Structure 1
Amino acid sequence: MELKQLLYFKEVAKHKSITKAAQQIHISQPALSKSIKALEEELEAILIIRTNKTIDLTDAGNMVLEYTKEITGLVDEMKLTLNDLTNFSVGQLNIGLPPFIGSLFFPKVMKNFHRSYPNIKLDITEYGGARVVKSVEEGEFELGVAVLPIDEQIFDVYPIVEEEMKLIVHKNHPLASFKEVDVKDLRDEEFIFYHEDFALNQIVRNHFFITAGFEPKILFKSMQWDLMSEMVAANLGIAILPQSICNRLFTKDINIISLKPTILWKLAVITKKGKYISNAGRKFIDFILTDSL
């Protein structure tokens, strides 16, 4: 069994497609199929089942995938350790960022970090917050940025941002003249809400609305804060956004209102507890904790 076979299998499982995986790792589809078949023959187990244009993992396939993640994670960790031993001025860092967070704070951070450490390459992937957390846990990213709270038995947490969430409404909305609105007054409102991939979906729903005793009436869900604000500006509903985003709303059609009780938006850099952090990763964490966001 070769490590390459396991890496190929991991890509197939990730994309649920031989075709997409082959494109991603730049080999032919027949060659990838042959590699997976050889792996199955060596393990004497069927790992994947082809259904229409996608593939599903068998029980054996899911077990092999878990071991593969552990093996490839150890190989990655070995490479990072060796790189740190031989060269402290270069490196590569894989970071997972939710789109909301990336567009708000990180262009400036990346610029300043690159200026300070020009030989450290940053490989940034944008996922929804929940997927970033899962990907850090599984080793796809060395570090990620997540919305708190998070399970600190699994992750090391380095807080970087804390600010209030605000209610935004159309200027002609009945609540537009209010300086502060209680959550109980929002029971009958229609919301432009966060997509399920975002940690804020569960945080705002569970810790704000459900605690107040009702489910929010969700009219639309979006993965883009600018689209959410534009829907509010079109008087299609109301939304709850972080203060930093509200500060970027350049429209006279929206009023920004404080919420009672206060919802705090807390961001942190996270790493998997007990996992080796590269020299590049440590430099980035130290940098972002001291660089003003």
Structure 2
Amino acid sequence: MNFHQLHIFYTVAERGSFSAAASALHMTQPAVTMQIQSLEEYFGTRLLIRSTKKIELTEAGITLLPYAAKSIALVKETDNAMASHTHMLQDRLQLGSSLTIGEYFLPRLLGPFGQQYPHISIMMKVMNTTQIIEEITKHQLNFGLIEATIHHPDMVIDPVMQDELKLIVPIGHPLAERESVELEEVLAYPFVLREKGSGTRQVMESVLIHKGIDPQSLQTAMELGSTGAVKSAVEAGFGITMLSPASVKHETALNLVTIIPIRDAEFKRQFYAIHLKSTLLPLSAVTFLNFLKQQQDQQGE
């Protein structure tokens, strides 16, 4: 018996068929069948009842299932514990990232990570959440980083970083010289917004609803499909917006826009890592995700 066999057994039981497990594990169906047979030979009993419709667990299989789940959890826990002690890993990580994370958060972290773990190379694709999920399920990406939680039966969702949207106004705006403002004051001005469905827009609207404000009541001057376009419109004086301070560092340094705190509202959001439940992340991926969490913890100190 080995861990690989227990992992395969658990996935077959969870998915309900050899073909579904083979697809999830990126294996051939005969290879999955062979590993299950080897496990049954080791225990000297049948673990699965095979039928044309679906797989059912025998009494022995029912007994084994929680131990297989514990073994998977223990391996994950071990990887997490050892990740910070491993510095000579040689691996190529393929990850997907949403726009804000990929363009404004990860670039400043990849340098320090590369210095600490020079033998891990990273290939990052910036895409939307739907595309990230699709490529993960096809085993084209190890994991993804997204800006809002999802509900997907095949995915593990793990919080890794936090962010907070702030009010961004152009230099020369009536609010630009204020040290802070009330939310009610902000609503009197036209907004330049990300498109509906974007993570940034969802966070903003959910906070407004919580405050008893209908998002439809906002004076919307423009709806634009990228953070860069929103920033350009704000700089040009078409309105104000809510963005992550990380996305306007360049513009604030050039004195094109300014960040104004809103005293009576917080627009916080959580970033998440996602990967397949049926796939154990390589140690290099666990190391990278732990690095992101450590960076977040250090910023919060």
Q: Does 1:287 align with 2:291?
A: yes
Q: How many Å apart are 1:241 and its aligned residue?
A: 0.9
Letter in 2 for 1:256: I
Q: Give the corresponding residue for 1:276.
A: 280
Structure 2: runs of 5+ lacking an equivalent: 1-17, 32-78, 80-87
Distance 1:113 1:227 in 2: 30
Distance 1:275 1:218 in 2: 44
Distance 1:130 1:202 in 2: 16
Helix, strand or coil: the match of 1:181? coil
Alpha-carbon spacing, 1:196–1:134, altered in 2? closer, same or farther (3 Å): farther
Q: Does 1:243 align with 2:194?
A: no
Q: Give the corresponding residue for 2:143.
A: 143
Q: What are the within-5 Å matches in structure 2 for residues 1-293 of structure 1?
A: 72-75=23-26, 89-129=89-129, 131-132=131-132, 135-136=135-136, 140-151=140-151, 155-196=155-196, 198-208=198-208, 211-215=212-216, 216-249=218-251, 250-259=253-262, 260-291=264-295
Alignment: residue pair count:
219
Contact preservation (8 Å) 1:164, 1:265: yes
Letter in 2 for 1:237: G
Letter in 1 for 2:286: R
Distance 1:197 1:206 in 2: 12
Q: How many Å apart are 1:153 and its aligned residue?
A: 7.1
Helix, strand or coil: the match of 2:144? strand
Alpha-carbon spacing, 1:165–1:108, altered in 2? closer, same or farther (3 Å): closer
Alpha-carbon spacing, 1:248–1:156, altered in 2? closer, same or farther (3 Å): farther
- For the pair shown, which has the larger CA radius of gyration, 1 or 2? 2
Q: How many Å apart are 1:127 and its aligned residue?
A: 0.9
Q: Which piece of structure 1 moves more, 101-110 or 210-219? A: 210-219
Q: How many Å apart are 1:195 and its aligned residue?
A: 3.1
Q: Which piece of structure 1 moves more, 273-282 or 234-243? A: 273-282
Alpha-carbon spacing, 1:97–1:212, altered in 2? closer, same or farther (3 Å): same
Q: Which piece of structure 1 moves more, 192-201 or 133-142? A: 133-142
What is the root-mean-square deviation of aligned Cα atoms in Å? Answer: 3.7
Helix, strand or coil: the match of 1:266? strand
Bigger fraction of residues in strand: 1
What TM-score do you get using the length of structure 2 for normalisation? Answer: 0.58
Distance 1:281 1:271 in 2: 10
- Identity value in percent: 17
Q: Which runs of 4+ in 1 moved over 6 A?
A: 67-70
Contact preservation (8 Å) 1:131, 1:197: no
Q: How many Å apart are 1:100 and its aligned residue?
A: 1.9
Contact preservation (8 Å) 1:145, 1:267: yes
Q: How many Å apart are 1:96 and its aligned residue?
A: 0.9
Alpha-carbon spacing, 1:98–1:197, altered in 2? closer, same or farther (3 Å): farther
Distance 2:278 2:23 in 1: 16
Alpha-carbon spacing, 1:135–1:252, altered in 2? closer, same or farther (3 Å): same
Distance 1:169 1:273 in 2: 43
Structure 1: runs of 5+ lacking an equivalent: 1-66, 79-83
Q: How many Å apart are 1:129 and its aligned residue?
A: 4.6
Alpha-carbon spacing, 1:195–1:69, altered in 2? closer, same or farther (3 Å): farther
Q: How many Å apart are 1:69 and its aligned residue?
A: 9.1
